[in-house]
Structure 1
Amino acid sequence: MPRENTHRTLEVYYEKVATCPLRDRQYNFFELVYVLSGRGYYAINDNRVAFSVGDLFLITPKDCHDFDLKGICEFMVIRFSERYIREYQWNSMDHIECLLYHASHLSGSVIVNTEDEHMVNALMQNLHQATAYEPIYREDLVRHLVNAILVIAAKNIAIIKPKGINPQADIRMLQILDYIQEHIRQPNLLKIATIAEKFGLSPTYLGSYFRRQSNESIQQYISSYKIRLIEYRLRFSDRRIHEIADEFGFADESHINKFFKRHQGVSLKKYRNRLSVVPPVEAVLSLKTSSG
């Protein structure tokens, strides 16, 4: 399958086209595509959905996607690398991690909140206008707008039910998930008895209720969520193993390595060594306009 590459940390451009210029492709970067005008169908990982004005799609490096356009369409496209995310000091780092790695099961627009739809629309319109700024001012302005869009997208992805959650899951289940995510670094608050007491349930009922709502045990969910965050730290931070162990409440490096190896089959050090090294390129912002 053809693969598109970029060595830039951030690219932002406006596109007006009648046909998708790249079909059935995979990227080595992340891409946000916002629909300014037009309609058609969007296919990602064998899922096909209709799109319209205001939709925002996220494509990750592991996704295979293309657009089937019904007439002329206008898009704002934001491409960003892992390095761009790693180098920016996010205050809500876990939300950004969720945005990057745990949204590929979403086949539709990542914006689900109506108020955020209006905000993203205003930001995208401003981003379009910002491409006309003089270069000396343009880069900082564009980066601020892009970062605001990323945070809003992350916020919306965070409130979408995880892949295995029953579509009919009730509000209490979502509250339990929020509690687990909030306290994932505090093992003493993630004990079954503690969670059950917090939500006025018996430990036995909590276990059966959670499995019924999510098709996995509460212990499995906690472990898999913690593994995802640890993987993120290994990929996007320079923290040492003992620092990651401290952050997530493990007694020492040996304890976290046993936990990680049980789930991933390798130690944290070997996992980090397997990650591809980002080439030392200058941070570049490319702004271009193309038309069909």
Structure 2
Amino acid sequence: MNKEMLHSAYEINFVEADVCSKFEHGHNFFELAYIRSGTGKHFLNQSECIYHAGQLFLITPEDTHHFAIESRTAFFFLRFNNIYLKKNNLGSDSLQLLEYILQNTNHLNDCILQNIADRTFVGPVIDTIYQEQNVKDLYNEDLIQQLVNTLIIIVARNIAKFLPSYISETTEEKAVSILQYIQQNIYEPEKLRAENISDLFTVSTAYIGRYFKKHTNDTLQGYISKYKVNLIEHRIKFSDKRMNEIADEFGFTDVSHLNKFFRKQKGYSPKDIKNGLAGT
């Protein structure tokens, strides 16, 4: 299987085709694929779905995919990597935005636009990018970059509003809020103590654990630990921070404390990731 590389911070392509020229492949970057027109099938991680105009798919570095075109299709592709996110102000810590996308995308083969209002917004944004690329005007590169940022933020919002691995239609709004609170405060251990969460969301300390388990099928501390350790692993893979900086950022007393926590959760050490030995 081919693995494509991205050699710039981001890349935009508008493509029209009757036949897909690429077979199953992976990436070392994120890709947004928007269907401007046409029909066919999208294959993602060995699952397939029928695509049509107006759908937006998110492909992460962990995914493999390809398209099978049935009627002539106009695609918009936006490719971006962690370098782009780290160097551009998206209204929040950009590296944390990368991690948020990595941790919360469901890797299912479905349109990322679950928020109805965003479906009518994305098309005109992409049309504007197309116009700016083809009609050179003052500040058009700056405008295109801002529109790219807008698309990435829309993806983040849809992921934030819909957490499919833990949330269903019957999940109480309070449980969703607790999950989002944990994600937003994962770098501040004091805020994640059970008593603090129970006070903030008016659930008794004695009941908070059972309440969380009931609505997420995971324990409160189990979810916090898994979410944190996966963020740390992605931080090791996608940033150039030293281990002592990561330990400090996540509230560990030192690197030894971080290593002990990480090995308990994952079964291998942070050094194994750096050496390509994780999971072997």
Structure 1 residue 76: Cα displacement: 0.8
Moved over 6 A (4+): none
Paired position in structure 2 for 1:85:
85
Q: Partners in 1 of 2:100 and 2:14 — Cα distance?
A: 26
Structure 1 residue 208: Cα displacement: 2.2
* Alignment of structure 1 residues 50-61 onto 2, 5 Å: 50-61=50-61
Q: How many residues align?
A: 275
> Which amino acid in structure 1 is aligned with residue 81 of structure 2?
S
Structure 1 residue 127: Cα displacement: 1.1
Structure 1 residue 227: Cα displacement: 1.6
**TM-score (ref. length: structure 1):** 0.82
- 1:271 to 1:183, Cα distance in 2 relative to 1, 3 A: same
Paired position in structure 2 for 1:189:
191
Paired position in structure 1 for 2:8:
8
- 1:89 to 1:274, Cα distance in 2 relative to 1, 3 A: farther
Structure 1 residue 209: Cα displacement: 2.5
Paired residue for 1:178, among 177, 180, 183?
Answer: 180
1:89-121 deviations in Å (ceiling 9; x for gaps): 542432332224542523211122223223322
Paired position in structure 2 for 1:278:
none
> Which amino acid in structure 2 is aligned with residue 180 of structure 1?
I
Paired position in structure 1 for 2:247:
245
List gaps (5 residues or longer) in structure 1.
Answer: 276-292
> Which amino acid in structure 2 is aligned with residue 50 of structure 1?
I
* Alignment of structure 1 residues 1-292 onto 2, 5 Å: 1-90=1-90, 91-93=92-94, 94-134=96-136, 139-272=141-274, 274=276
> Which amino acid in structure 1 is aligned with residue 251 of structure 2?
G
Does the CA-based 8 Å contact 2:104-2:160 persist in structure 1? no
> Which amino acid in structure 1 is aligned with residue 159 of structure 2?
I
> Which amino acid in structure 2 is aligned with residue 35 of structure 1?
I
- 1:140 to 1:254, Cα distance in 2 relative to 1, 3 A: same
Where relative contact order (Cα < 8 A, 6+ residues apart) is larger, the structure is 1
Paired position in structure 2 for 1:282:
none
1:245-292 deviations in Å (ceiling 9; x for gaps): 2322222222222212222344445534549xxxxxxxxxxxxxxxxx
Q: Percent identity?
A: 37
Does the CA-based 8 Å contact 1:116-1:152 persist in structure 2? yes
Q: Partners in 1 of 2:249 and 2:60 — Cα distance?
A: 27
Q: Partners in 1 of 2:30 and 2:147 — Cα distance?
A: 17
- 1:89 to 1:258, Cα distance in 2 relative to 1, 3 A: farther
Structure 1 residue 14: Cα displacement: 0.8
Q: Partners in 2 of 1:142 and 1:78 — Cα distance?
A: 11
- 1:92 to 1:160, Cα distance in 2 relative to 1, 3 A: farther
Does the CA-based 8 Å contact 2:38-2:52 persist in structure 1? yes
Structure 1 residue 136: Cα displacement: 9.2
Does the CA-based 8 Å contact 1:30-1:60 persist in structure 2? yes
**TM-score (ref. length: structure 2):** 0.85
Q: Partners in 1 of 2:79 and 2:66 — Cα distance?
A: 15
The RMSD of aligned alpha carbons is 2.6
